[in-house]
Amino acid sequence: MHLGRKRKGLDPVASSRHKPTPSRVLWSHFSLGDHSRRTKKCKEGVGQRASYHNGFVTGIATAPPFVNVCSDPHGRGLKRKIGCLDAATRMGRKKKIEQDFELGETIGQGKFGSVVKCRNKTSGEEFACKILTKGEEIVHREVEIMQHLSGHPGVVTLKAVYEDDRSFHLVMELCSGGRLLDQMRNDGLFSEQKAANLMKGLMLVLKYCHEMGVVHRDVKPENILLSSSGLMKLADFGLAARIANGQSLYGVVGSPAYVAPEVLMGGYSEKVDIWSAGVLLHAILVGFLPFGGESVNTVFEAVKNVSLDFQGGVWESISQPARDLIAHMLTRNVSKRYTAEEVLRHPWILFYTNPTLESLTFSSRVQTRSFLTSRQLTEMLEVESERNVNASFNDNSTLTFPPEEEDCYMVDVLALAISRVRISEPKRSRICSPTNPVQQEHSSNIKITSLCTAF
């Protein structure tokens, strides 16, 4: 077993094959993750800084050495077990995957290998199997981190790892609902209700990752998969890194359109995941990415400098609290940027994911984007203040409204409503170019303009 073995000869920084020719630069722009995965094997260490010149990434993806993090008993993630594959995973390693699983159709294509369906020969249960060809990828960190995070319903569970002469096989829970990106294409713009629910799921899993000392570093719709019942699962921990309290990561890692500005400028923390999630929230609500450009330079310049304007245009139909949340997720002031916990406590999230209020939004007659009418909100506020919504979120009773009230003051009224409905503490605590048979598209591969229409 050589999960920890580093592959040779694929360092784009060192290799002349990877000089920043224009096309390479553009490709790099859309595939930072690929670059990072290839380079992360080279040098690791908290103190190593990446450099970025003229749009070409010359950085090294770095992470704190495992031993440093583990030796801190007071650090986050006391139940760390990275490096300690569990019994189920170990068992598989000795055998060939074919002994236990029947490999089936290709269901996905990454840059380093394909993902196929597989079926357990004994139980008949279906899984996804990521096949990583040796010599093109290192898998030790991905396996360790998936193993470390295993058990959370929002993380794709790693079931077993096999190795043969040519490849690694990572057997994972099958997410048969596909990618969030595909859902975005099929369904178009998300209602605020749907976006808030997605964001809540994402924040719950990111909160868990961050508490476990893991930064995903590549949050984007391609890496959010859906279970057969529609539950979101965070996948692809190939770029994830470990971090301890107070430590910084260095290295230009991620996908350009989603990358946080501090990644491009120096040390960064788990807050980069919140930025990426903010980009995603922006995209699903208004249909385009906030930071775009025709080249790596322009995208990165936009990420670093463009001021977002949430007034007018497409934002007219988006509630003020939604805009407020996006602004707090996409602030370049990292200390002011919300944590996952703070996003979860944001009124917009609580409003739309509160079972009591949720029924209210869906009981309305024409609610294509789940807006509330002013009358509904007024009544809601009265009713809610009577029943003291803060005391309990277990009340599933519904409020219904006559169908004629469909006035259009919902944006401001929603803001007012949310500011008046106090958010409860109880709620809180309950809380490149693949040659593949499967057509895969990536959100950052799509021009911003076409992303608009694709939605």
Ligand X SMILES: Nc1ncnc2c1ncn2[C@@H]1O[C@H](COP(=O)(O)OP(=O)(O)OP(=O)(O)O)[C@@H](O)[C@H]1O
Q: What residue numbers does the annotated binding site for ATP cover?
A: 130
Please choose, out of 232-240, 315-323, 391-399, 415-423, the segment that lies near ligand X by the rule CB under 6 A: 232-240
Q: Which stretch, 8-16, 48-56, 169-177, 195-203, contacts ligand X (CB under 6 A)?
A: 169-177
CB nearer to ligand X: pick between 111 and 282: 111
The first and second tokens of residue 155, run together, are 């993380």
Q: To which H or E segment does residue 56 belong? A: strand 56-57
Enter the tokens of residue 383: 């009713």
- At its nearest, how many Å lie between ligand X and the CB of residue 59? 17
For the question of residue 182 being annotated catalytic, the response is no
CB of 38 to ligand X, least distance (A): 10
Contact between 292 and ligand X per CB under 6 A: no
Shortest distance in whole angstroms from residue 53 CB to ligand X: 24
Nearest to 237 by CA among 105, 132, 118: 132
The secondary structure element, H or E, covering residue 179 is strand 178-179
Q: How far is the CB of 437 from ligand X (least distance, A)?
A: 12
Q: Which of 20, 33, 92, 256 binds ligand X (CB under 6 A)?
A: 33
Distance CA 116, CA 108 (A): 7
The rounded distance, in Å, linking the Cα atoms of 234 and 207 is 12
Check residue 263 for interaction with ligand X (CB under 6 A). Answer: no
DSSP letter for each residue of 391-413: T-S---------TT---S-HHHH
Nearest distance from C-beta of residue 216 to ligand X, angstroms: 12
> Helical H runs in 287-434?
296-305, 320-329, 340-345, 347-353, 355-362, 374-387, 410-420, 425-429
**DSSP 8-state symbol, 119:** E
Whichever of 235 and 330 has its CB closer to ligand X, that residue is 235
The distance in angstroms from the start CA to the end CA of the chain is: 44
Window 119-158: contact mask with ligand X (x via CB under 6 A) = ---------x-x-------------------------x--
Among 57, 155, 174, 232, the residue binding ligand X under the rule CB under 6 A is 174
Which residue is associated with the tokens 């304007």?
Answer: 309
Among 235, 263, 281, 413, binds ligand X (CB under 6 A): 235
Q: Closest distance between ligand X and the C-beta of residue 132, in Å?
A: 7
CB-CB contact of 251 with 61 (8 Å): yes
Q: Which of 144, 163, 192, 222 binds ligand X (CB under 6 A)?
A: 222
Residue 438 CA to residue 306 CA, distance in Å, equals: 36
| 71-110 residues near ligand X, rule: CB under 6 A | 107-110
Any idea which residue has 């369906």 for tokens? Answer: 117
> Residue 118: left (phi > 0), alpha (psi -120 to 50), or beta?
beta
- 34, 100, 218, 236: the active-site residue: 218
Question: Does 238 sit near ligand X (CB under 6 A)?
Answer: yes
Active site residues: 218
Positions in the binding site for ligand X (CB under 6 A): 33, 107-112, 115, 128, 130, 156, 172-175, 179, 222-223, 225, 235-236, 238
